[in-house]
Structure 1
Amino acid sequence: MAAETTIEVPHLGGIKAGYALSGEYDAAKPTCVLINSMCTTVSLYQDQFASKELTDAVNLLAIEPLGHGVTSCPTEHFTYWDTAIMALQVLDKLGIDKAFALGTSQGGWMVTRMALLAPDRILGLILLGTSMDYESADSRSKGCWDPKGLLTPFFKKWCSTTPTPDFLVDDVWCGMVGSLGFGTGATAEMMQFWTETLKSVYKGDEGRKKLKMALACLLERDGLLLRVRDVTCPVYWLQGTEDAPFGTTIPAEQIKLFTSSKEATLSFIEGGGHYLNATNPKEVGEALLKMVNKYK
């Protein structure tokens, strides 16, 4: 489900950011921010929160992006840069000066923006199942998906000039979120959980607007190919060989663009799906601990 705790930060006139911490914050341990994928919530990281090996070593701080979970703000319009600023302000409010950052799918785009905006605060990036480009013709020619063709009809359906108090996200969208993310590893129980979660978040007029803008952010996001050369922290990029949206060609090209990073590596996870932290939590946990132990 969605986060049970919110914290208010000043960006965009006052955002209430949904977040979850893995137990009481321990200033003696490093912190890792976790940013979830499209239309999921902090619950995407339940395997990481359940790992004693991880939580003994690191404070895990999952933050729900704008347009997701219980996170809300006064303005209907926002971008991925706004979520990155919001996440940095959450760190401020919690008294956390520096952190590692892990992002799944769209979360990878957001945490990379955090590293660009605050290079002195982000100690390292773990990128899971992502791309640093927008859905360009070049990326599509190399096996990446075409979300505009696939998803624009949903966006148009969610636009309305009058209030929609009875809105409820449909089963088709819920099914796509689960099937694209978890792939062949999706179970009936998982699909039911995420269908119920999406329907609890995206309902009524506020839920429709939140969902519409979350999708607009995805469809109109800016690429980072000319910017990632300025990321200075280490980058560990993990990509599943069964990643449906982004495949394996683009990551192999884009990891080479992190030319200023202390270390930039790409690991392919055999059989891994798009939401790697869920389909392959063991490998993700090992990568996170490796980075934290090396760079804390």
Structure 2
Amino acid sequence: MTLPGYTDHGGEGPVVVLLHSFLMDGRMFAPQLAAFAGFRCVTVDERGHGGTPADGPFDYWDVARDVLGVLDHLGVERAAVVGTSQGGFVALRMALLAPARVSAIAVLGTSAAAEDPAVAAGYRAVLDAWVAGGAPAEVLDGVARICFGDFEAPEWKERWASVPPSQLTPAMNALVDRDAVLPRVGEISCPALVLHGSADLAYPVERAAELADALPAAEPLVVVEGGAHFLSFTHAEAVNPRLVEFLEARA
């Protein structure tokens, strides 16, 4: 277990852990921090991202244990977990590993399935081009289109351009080689909220629907019209009220 980089943003309310998407870090949750004033928010940089290096191969079960280690380090017995895309993969695994530690989960733009083999092959091709070409502009533009849709986020593309292959490769391997947890999410008994964008270019709404149907204590699926894959970042105005309402009742 690696203690990852994290920021405890303080506050007197219930603890909410915010887990970011692939290629991002805790800074992607700036729109949520402004809206979550009633909670004690903790953002975590997952392995291979932000301030947390990847020293070798890892999977999302490892990352889930890392985040539970942050809770141990902070002396937090129980927290709600909000995860976007990759962060949702981690949130689901946290709830399976330590159900007593997770009071509620909210996942956005995520999936409980393994990666589609054809999609995984495409992502590996992107990785190869990225590593070989030093993040060419056309690769960054294509990745940004999948992640952000029509939302402009040039500051993130600039950050991506500086990601070293030593971090990018294990992070991508974790993404495309992940196991399916859909057969097990029926074990997750805590309250859950699933949100998904209708314009998500990474996972169809069907992935969100099957997850919401399989979670025993899930709220009705929330589909954000026109929402992109990194939904909490690109469509914060639409999702924040839903998240706050859910967390105030369930966290």
TM-score strictly above 0.5 = yes
Q: 1:40 aligns with which of 24, 34, 38?
A: 24
Q: Structure 2 CA distance, aligned partners of 1:277 and 1:173?
A: 23
Alignment counterpart, residue 160 of structure 2, candidates 185, 198, 203: 198
Partner of 1:96: 76
Task: Kindly report which structure 2 residues correspond to 1:9-48, keeping only aligned pairs within 5 A, or say none.
Answer: 11=1, 15-22=2-9, 25-26=10-11, 28-48=12-32
- Give yes or no for the alignment of 1:182 onto 2:118: no
- In 2, distance between residues paired with 1:158 and 1:269? 31
2:113 counterpart residue number: 133
Structure 1 residues 42-89: Cα deviation after superposition (integer angstroms, max 9, x where no partner): 12112112x2x412x01121111111111025x411111110000010
121, 131, 138: which is aligned to 1:149? 121
Check conservation: 1:30, 1:99, Cα contact below 8 A. Answer: yes
Shift of the alpha carbon at 1:159? 7.5
Determine if the alignment matches structure 1 residue 60 to structure 2 residue 60: no
Match runs of 1:160-171 below 5 Å: 168-171=134-137
**Contact in 2 for aligned 1:124/1:291 (Cα 8 Å):** no
1:277 Cα deviation from its structure 2 partner: 0.7
Counterpart of 1:21 in structure 2: which amino acid? D
Give the secondary structure class of the aligned counterpart of 2:18: strand
Residue deviations 1:90-132, cap 9 Å, x none? 1111121111101111111111101111101111111101111
How far apart are the structure 2 equivalents of 1:177 and 1:59?
32
2:60 match = 80
Counterpart-to-counterpart distance in 2, 1:147 and 1:117: 28
CA contact (8 A) 1:237 1:266 kept: yes
Q: Is there any run of 5+ residues in structure 1 with no aligned partner, and where?
A: 1-10, 138-145, 161-166
Which one has the largest radius of gyration? Answer: 1
Taking structure 2 as the reference length, what is the TM-score of the superposition? 0.92
What does residue range 262-273 of structure 1 map to in structure 2 within 5 Å? Answer: 263-273=218-228
1:31, distance to aligned residue in structure 2 (A): 1.2
1:4 match: none
When the two structures are superposed, what TM-score results if normalisation uses the length of structure 1? 0.79
Cross-structure match for 1:254: 211
Seen in structure 2, the aligned counterparts of structure 1 residues 157 and 242 have a Cα distance that, compared at 3 Å, is closer
Structure 2 distance, partners of 1:87, 1:70, is 14
**Residue 213 (str. 1) matches residue 170 (str. 2):** yes
Length, aligned pairs only:
251
Is the partner of 1:62 in helix, strand or coil?
A: strand
How far off its partner does 1:236 sit? 0.4
Q: CA deviation at 1:170?
A: 3.5
Summarize deviations over 1:203-260 as a string: whole Å, max 9, x none.
Answer: xxxx21210000001111001111101001111000111111112122222311113x
- Please, what is the CA RMSD of the aligned residues? 2.0
